[in-house]
Chain A
Amino acid sequence: MELTVNSVSCSVQSPPLTSLLTVLREELDITSPKAGCESGGCGACTVLVDGQPRRSCLTALCTLDGSEVVTVEGLGTPEDLSRVQQAFIHHYAAQCGFCTDGLIVAATAYVGGGGSADTGDIGEALAGHYCRCTGYVKILEAVAAVARGDTFDTASTASSANNTYVTIAGAES
C-alpha cells in the first residue's frame, strides 16, 4: 500500500483493515494523531486525507491507496509555523494539548475552505472535537483570527513558540 504522508511517499505493510490511526502511530511512528476514544467521537485523531479532515481511527488503510495524508507535523515546523498554529499559540488555544493536533488539522481545512470568522460556523465545523480542558473560547478566537486574516507578530509568536517547549521526562509522546 502506497501512501503519501506529510509529502513523504511511503510503503506501508499493515493489514488492509488496520485503521489509519494505528498505521500512523504504530508503523510510521507519527504520534500527533491521538488515540483518544478510538471510536470516532473525540476528534483527537483527525488528519487530512486528500485535503479533507478525516477520523484516522475510523479509516481503514485499504481505502487510502494513493491518498495524501497530512498530520499536524506536515503543516509547519517550529521555525515556520502555519498560520493556524501561530494563532493557537497567539491566542493561548492549547492547554494540555491532547486535542490540539486534531483541532489544528480540522481548523486548517476549515479556513482553507473559505470558512467564515463567525464563531457559530466555526463551532459547527469543529463540533466533533472535544477539549476536556474546556478551552473552547480560546480555540474559537484563534480560528476566527485566522479566518479574519489577522496577522500575527512572528517575532512574538516565535518567542511564544519557544516558550511552549516543556520537557517532561517519560512523556515523549
Chain B
Amino acid sequence: MGVGRLLRWCLLHAAAVNLNPKTALTVPVGLSRAGAKHHQEVAMTSTAAVSMPSSEAEAVAAVTEQPFATVLAGGTLLVPQHTLGQVAVERAVWLGRAEMDGISRSNGRMTVGAAAPLAACTRLDAPIGPCAANIGDNEVKAQATIGGNICSPAPYGDLRGPLLALGAILRWADPDGTHTGGIADFTASGGARPGVLILDVAFAVPEAGSFVALRRHHTQSLTAMAVSAVRGADGAVTIAATGAAPDACRLHAAEAVLADGGSIADAAAASASDADPYDDALASASYRSRVLPVYVGRALEQLGA
C-alpha cells in the first residue's frame, strides 16, 4: 500500500470508528493494527448494491436491467477479486435465494441449475462428478457453483472440459432474451459479463464417462491439465481437455481415430493436433505437450474405449 492510500485508509477507518460505534460487542475497535491493514479499503468503501431475487424470473430481470448487474453466485472468485480491488461492481445480484440450484433427470437428460453447488455436482456420474470433486477443497465446493465455474477463465473453469465432452447445452439470459447453445456458443456471444446470467446446463446422460487429472499436492488448488471422455448412446466417443490449450478444447482428431477403429495409443498420439500448449505458473507448454497423450490414453482406458 502506498503512503497516499495508507493515509486515506487511516482517515476512512477513523471515520468508520466514529460513525459506527458497536454497542453489542464488548471488544473495542482498535487502530493499533492500522499498519498491518491492506486491501480492505476497497471493499469497505464499495457502494455496490446487491439485490436478492427469489426466483429465476426475478433474477433475470434484476441482472439484465440497467445498469447491468454482476452475478454473485458462490462468490468464490468475485468476492476476493472485489476485496483486492481487481473488479469494479456497480450492482450485483445474489442467486442464493433464486431457487436456481436444482438438479433433475428426465428422459435421459440431466439438467443442472446454474447455482447448484459443486458439492452437489460431485454426486453426478463421470466425467462431471469426479471433475467437481477435484476442484478446490470441501469448503470451496460447498460454496462454488457450476454456473460460476463455467464463467471462470483458465486456470479455473474446470467443468468446461467435461461439459464440452458431454455436448452440454447452456441456457442463458441477456438483455436480448434467453438463448441456448454450447459452451463455445456462450463464449462466442461474449461470455460472462454484467447483464448476462447462465440459467442452467443440460446434457444427455452418457453410456459411460471418465475423468483423469494431473495429481496435485493438497496445497495446490488448481489443476494443470485434465481429460474427460464420454461414450454416448450411439457408441461414439467424445474427448475434451482443460489445460491443453488456453481454453477447454475438444480433441476431434483423437475422436476420429477411435471412430475409424484406431487404437487408444493412436488416438492419444493424435490428440496433439487439437492442442495449443501454453506456459503458465502451473505447467510449461513443453510439459503440457508431453503429458496430454498420456492422460488421453488413461481417460480412454478408464472409459473402456
Contact = CB atoms under 8 A, between A and B. Distances in A.
Interface of A: 5, 8-11, 13-19, 21-22, 25-31, 35, 38-41, 43, 46, 52-55, 57-60, 62-63, 106, 123-125, 127-128, 130, 172-173
Contacts of A5: 25
A157 to B, nearest CB: 26
Contact of B29 (A14, A15, A18, A29): A29
B82 A29 contact: no
A29 B3 CA distance: 23
Contacts of B76: 40, 55, 58
A39 to B, nearest CB: 4
Given A17-B92, A40-B76, A58-B75, A26 B13 contact: yes
B282 interface: no
Contact of A8 (B25, B84, B92, B137): B25
B139 to A, nearest CB: 5
B29 A9 contact: no
Contact of A58 (B25, B45, B80): B80
How many residues of B sit at the interface, in one of the four size bands?
35 or more
B139 A30 contact: no
A39 B111 CA distance: 30
Contact of A63 (B38, B46, B89, B94): B94
Q: Is the interface of B mostly helix, strand, loop or mixed?
A: loop
Interface of B: 13, 16, 19-20, 22, 24-25, 27-30, 32-33, 36-40, 43-50, 52, 72, 74-76, 78-80, 82-84, 89, 92, 94, 96, 136-140, 142-143, 218-219, 221
8 contacts: A13-B16, A13-B20, A14-B44, A17-B82, A19-B82, A27-B20, A58-B80, A128-B136
Contact of A26 (B37, B52, B78, B92): B37
B24 A54 contact: no
Query: What 6 pairs across the A-B complex have the smallest Cβ distances?
Result: A128-B137, A10-B24, A16-B50, A39-B80, A62-B50, A13-B20
Nearest to B221: A41
A25 B80 CA distance: 15
B46 A17 contact: yes
B136 A15 contact: no
Contact of B140 (A10, A25, A40): A40
Nearest to B75: A60
A58 to B, nearest CB: 5
A58 B140 contact: yes
Contact of A10 (B25, B37, B138, B143): B25
A127 B218 CA distance: 6
A54 B27 contact: no
Contacts of B94: 60, 62-63
A30 B16 CA distance: 16
Contacts of A38: 39, 80, 83-84
B44 A26 contact: yes
B44 A15 contact: yes
Given A15-B45, A55-B140, A22 B83 contact: yes
Contacts of A54: 139, 142-143
Nearest to B81: A39
B112 to A, nearest CB: 21
Contacts of B136: 40, 128
A89 B82 CA distance: 37
Contacts of B30: 29
Contacts of B89: 17
Given A21-B83, A58-B74, A58-B143, 15 more contacts: A10-B24, A15-B44, A16-B48, A17-B43, A17-B72, A19-B82, A26-B44, A38-B39, A38-B84, A57-B79, A58-B80, A128-B218, A128-B221, A172-B33, A173-B33
Nearest to A173: B33
Given A11-B24, A27-B29, A62-B52, A127 B46 contact: no
A113 to B, nearest CB: 11
Contacts of A35: 38
B43 A18 contact: yes
B80 A57 contact: yes
A74 B80 CA distance: 25
